[in-house]
Amino acid sequence: MFKGCYKSALGLMEIKASKDGITSIQFVDKEANEQNLSSDIDAAMEQLDEYFNGDRKMFDLSLDMQGTDFQKQVWKKLLKVPYGKTCSYLDIANEIGDSNATRAVGNANGKNQIAIVIPCHRVVGSDGKLTGYASGIERKKWLIEHEKGGEQLNLFN
């Protein structure tokens, strides 16, 4: 397992990868004692820099998604939500062919371990309101505004 830390405008992020690709990008409170970088982690850091600078709208990384078949199905649909746009949990449920699966979609969304790259922050309630985000609603709001071109300040230093 490979591991690295990335300092973003939203706080410290830990990136993990297997030999098959990125397994996790998560916000953390403190930097890991040891880093064991790989080409996938280096690529993720570079692409996150481009994203936060407003120069990248799509990520091109090898992903090694860890989850159930249903979760992976939801995450693959999330990858298709365009930069700067949002959709609802119902939209994703409809995309996977089960309009009754909104709660399950929400649960899968919450289990996403690859923050920002798999853009679960782009999923909102059917009424357009910001709803749950494992990394905090303030970060979700920041990310949505960032993608719409709003001026952003560092939430965390």
Residue whose C-alpha is closest to residue 45's, from 76, 3, 1: 3
Chain position carrying tokens 């905090």: 136
Amino acid at 25: I
* 87 assigned to active site: no
Contacts with 32 (C-beta within 8 Å, 6 or more apart), sequence order? 3, 5, 14
Integer Cα distance of 89 and 47 in angstroms: 27
Distance of CA 30 to the CA centre of its chain: 19
Active-site residue identified among 10, 45, 120, 143? 120
Which residues share a beta bridge with 27? 13
User: CA angle 112-118-122, nearest 5°?
Assistant: 95
Joined tokens for residue 14: 């830990």
Q: Looking at the annotation, which residues are catalytic?
A: 120
